[in-house]
Chains A and B, each alone.
Chain A
């Protein structure tokens, strides 16, 4: 405070002349609002390049945009149900090719599984056929322990078979019932590992329920 000469008088800590204002000159006004959103520019932008190459690339770009929309990779958002079904909508649907990815290159968990499509009864029949009832969490855990004891070889054989079977089927492009059950079963085993309290026959994520079931079978809810 000893260095404060003259109370309340502003003293610059640096040489004001260095910045460009002479001593005692009126400083410019303090800006009280943010700068404008679209300030005027003194210099207008240079016009775009034109030429054969540029025009061709432009046409290509627009074409690519349209083509991408029609490819099977473009996943449309499912629209909400309209109150009136418009007649024209039927004729404006774009027919897309079905794309089946190469499952060998993707992780196993990517394969689509039709969860709980069939009711529990046919599933039980298949389970009985396979000889491994998987309707209870505890049973499955016990089974897992058994399998681990028996060694991974057997389990992997089973899974290998199922996987190969599903690979072949998916290559042909048919969805087989056995396939679904096999995948479902394989998936269920993994599912149980998470120790959830819900019995397997219940639907897991509410989102899947009824939203995308292809066959119009009503889910049996418990």
Chain B
């Protein structure tokens, strides 16, 4: 794990779980797999606290354990999973767009709690939804569990590995730690239970509890569910591809690509290089209802897409009116390259971007040739090349003419290694987010006193409004915060919002780069 990643993990853990969990988590990320006592000894925390911290981390799938020989249990942290915590808002918002508020709250509860049983999720979500509904209305459990089942069917929610149930009582001693197993087929099973009940409002909970007859108590399930992050990542990747096609071509072609991706959602695994071949007839049948383009137009679009130099869509055969696949890995590579180009453009200017694209296209090119092809004066071209070289966007390839590698008799070719440039950029992104978080914490700490004061004033106003106070009194309380202080609060709020928004958007870049690096590594 690089230093930047460790720093970012430390900041994320501290913000979400407190300092003790952060200390334990970072120690595990740094040193790898360790047993309980060694952790307690090395970090200097008491055994009790280490246990609590580990319980929290295991619950949230950030730490896994394994039984080694002689009964020693070792704990290992998953650094990449910790970094996913940055993406929680995106997961929740995506579910909202797909499954509306109920789905959104289900995923939110699952992410906040790590893993939960279905009945617990349904109950919590129903209660929360009831809070926001009008007086007198309550949320039915059945509706929530329907949405839950739909989420499980589309693989957004999956079962956690659970303790295997042994029918015969084991003669040996129980193992020091359970080995959790999950059958591939059972991953998306949902227990068939009819949850009868309604959400409760917090205020009137006494009356409701009395009202429900005992017979209608919901049955509780015991196996835990968690959010399937890989499925979300697949969805994000599909979104990115569709919007890229929409930018490059037009709306209709992006709809076609979206349809193709939707058809291969469940059939293609998330790490496959391309989707299953789809025939043109199938695509025609599966187009959304509103789109009435004729078969011929569809065929033309598909041909155009397949001929595009970006190669998002490829033709794999002629049966069924033409078999088409989406080249997922190529698409990711193009997206990563586009990200790199855009970064070069924004950092160094459009001339540098031209040189960068030229080198990308020619693969290996000499300095003299760069000046000629890019039509940029020699001195400037040299300057830009060296700037990009020093920032590691480009690298040099030496080709010696003589065995003694004499510099005057060696060719030096500029080249862009996309994988290593992507890694460098990813590392930079981690550093940026760590900086953003630190700055936000600093800003909040600087103005802590002012924030507390404003919170107290708001609390006072709220309580006074509840008890029915006059306008004049409320005005007086509001004036407790002076105008310059209000100004300061405004500035603080604006800055914190900007920093938060930046974090979310840097995370989008991180997602693209990580997906590209992952799929390239798998290919090799």
A108 within 8 A of B: yes
B335 within 8 A of A: no
* Stretch among B11-19, B199-207, B279-287 lining the A interface: B11-19
B463 within 8 A of A: no
Contact B52 A75 (CB under 8 A): yes
A211 within 8 A of B: yes
A220 within 8 A of B: no
A112 within 8 A of B: yes
* Stretch among B168-176, B210-218, B241-249 lining the A interface: B168-176
Chain B residue at minimum C-beta to C-beta distance from A104:
B163
Which residues of B have CB within 8 Å of A62? 496, 500
B349 within 8 A of A: yes
B423 within 8 A of A: no
Taken together as a complex, chains A and B put the C-alpha atoms of A15 and B408 apart, in Å, by 5
Which residues of A have CB within 8 Å of B108? 64
Most chain A CB within 10 A, of B58, B60, B503, is at: B58
Knowing A65-B15, A160-B174, the reply to whether A105 touches B180 (Cβ < 8 A) is yes
A173 within 8 A of B: no
Residues A1-51 near B (CB distance < 8 A): 13-15, 18-20, 41-43, 45-46, 48-49
Most chain B CB within 10 A, of A14, A110, A153, is at: A110
Chain A residue at minimum C-beta to C-beta distance from B163:
A104
A107 within 8 A of B: yes
Contact B46 A110 (CB under 8 A): no
Contact B18 A74 (CB under 8 A): yes
Contact B501 A207 (CB under 8 A): no
Q: Pick from B19, B73, B503: contact of A107, CB below 8 A.
A: B73
A217 within 8 A of B: no
Which residues of B have CB within 8 Å of A102? 224
Which residues of A have CB within 8 Å of B40? 205
A148 CB to closest chain B CB (Å) equals 11
B505 within 8 A of A: yes
Contact B65 A75 (CB under 8 A): no
Q: Pick from A19, A71, A159: contact of B112, CB below 8 A.
A: A71
A58 within 8 A of B: yes
Contact B178 A104 (CB under 8 A): yes
Q: Pick from B54, B89, B408, B498: contact of A13, CB below 8 A.
A: B408
A175 within 8 A of B: no
Contact B173 A152 (CB under 8 A): yes
Q: Pick from B16, B349, B382: contact of A68, CB below 8 A.
A: B16
Knowing A101-B59, A108-B176, the reply to whether A53 touches B93 (Cβ < 8 A) is yes
Q: Pick from A53, A106, A156: contact of B172, CB below 8 A.
A: A156
Taken together as a complex, chains A and B put the C-alpha atoms of A208 and B50 apart, in Å, by 12
Contact A76 B48 (CB under 8 A): no
Knowing A18-B367, A65-B15, A73-B59, the reply to whether A58 touches B504 (Cβ < 8 A) is yes
Knowing A104-B163, A212-B48, the reply to whether A68 touches B174 (Cβ < 8 A) is no
B483 CB to closest chain A CB (Å) equals 25
Taken together as a complex, chains A and B put the C-alpha atoms of A19 and B36 apart, in Å, by 58
Chain A residue at minimum C-beta to C-beta distance from B66:
A107
Which residues of A have CB within 8 Å of B412? 18
B407 within 8 A of A: yes
Which residues of A have CB within 8 Å of B454? none
Which residues of B have CB within 8 Å of A163? 174
Contact B498 A48 (CB under 8 A): yes
Residues B122-181 near A (CB distance < 8 A): 162-163, 170-174, 176-178, 180
Knowing A14-B407, A106-B58, the reply to whether A75 touches B173 (Cβ < 8 A) is no
Taken together as a complex, chains A and B put the C-alpha atoms of A42 and B51 apart, in Å, by 51
B519 within 8 A of A: no
B348 CB to closest chain A CB (Å) equals 7
Q: Pick from B93, B382, B502, B505: contact of A20, CB below 8 A.
A: B382
Binary interface encoding of chain B residues 482-524 relative to chain A, with 1 for a CB under 8 A from any of its CBs, else 0: 0000000000000011101111110000000000000000000
Contact B55 A106 (CB under 8 A): yes
Chain B residue at minimum C-beta to C-beta distance from A41:
B347
Q: Pick from A43, A53, A75: contact of B17, CB below 8 A.
A: A75
Which residues of A have CB within 8 Å of B497? 58
A73 CB to closest chain B CB (Å) equals 5
A77 within 8 A of B: yes
A109 within 8 A of B: yes
Q: Pick from A65, A159, A205: contact of B173, CB below 8 A.
A: A159
Contact B58 A13 (CB under 8 A): no
Q: Pick from A48, A57, A104: contact of B502, CB below 8 A.
A: A48
Residues A94-116 near B (CB distance < 8 A): 101-102, 104-112
Contact A152 B349 (CB under 8 A): no
Q: Pick from B54, B67, B92, B174: contact of A60, CB below 8 A.
A: B92
Which residues of A have CB within 8 Å of B408? 13-15, 18
Chain B residue at minimum C-beta to C-beta distance from A20:
B382
Contact B65 A107 (CB under 8 A): yes
Knowing A68-B16, A75-B21, the reply to whether A108 touches B93 (Cβ < 8 A) is no
Chain B residue at minimum C-beta to C-beta distance from A60:
B89
Contact A43 B348 (CB under 8 A): yes
Contact A156 B174 (CB under 8 A): yes
Binary interface encoding of chain A residues 125-157 relative to chain B, with 1 for a CB under 8 A from any of its CBs, else 0: 000000000000000000000000000110110
A61 within 8 A of B: yes
Which residues of A have CB within 8 Å of B36? 109-110
B493 CB to closest chain A CB (Å) equals 10
B20 within 8 A of A: yes
B47 within 8 A of A: yes
Residues B1-60 near A (CB distance < 8 A): 15-21, 36, 40, 45-49, 51-56, 58-60
Knowing A105-B178, A211-B46, the reply to whether A20 touches B379 (Cβ < 8 A) is yes
B residues in contact (CB < 8 Å) with A: 15-21, 36, 40, 45-49, 51-56, 58-60, 65, 67, 73, 88-90, 92-93, 96-97, 108, 112-114, 162-163, 170-174, 176-178, 180, 224, 346-349, 367, 378-379, 382, 406-408, 412, 496-498, 500-505
CB<8 Å pairs between A and B, sample of 9? A49-B501, A56-B93, A57-B90, A61-B503, A77-B19, A107-B73, A107-B178, A153-B171, A156-B170
7 smallest CB-CB distances across A and B, nearest first, come from A107-B177, A14-B407, A207-B46, A156-B173, A57-B89, A60-B89, A61-B89
**18 further A-B pairs in the complex, CB-CB below 8 A; given A101-B58, A106-B65, A156-B174:** A13-B406, A14-B407, A43-B349, A45-B346, A48-B498, A48-B501, A61-B503, A62-B496, A64-B112, A75-B49, A75-B53, A77-B20, A101-B59, A106-B177, A152-B171, A155-B173, A208-B47, A212-B48
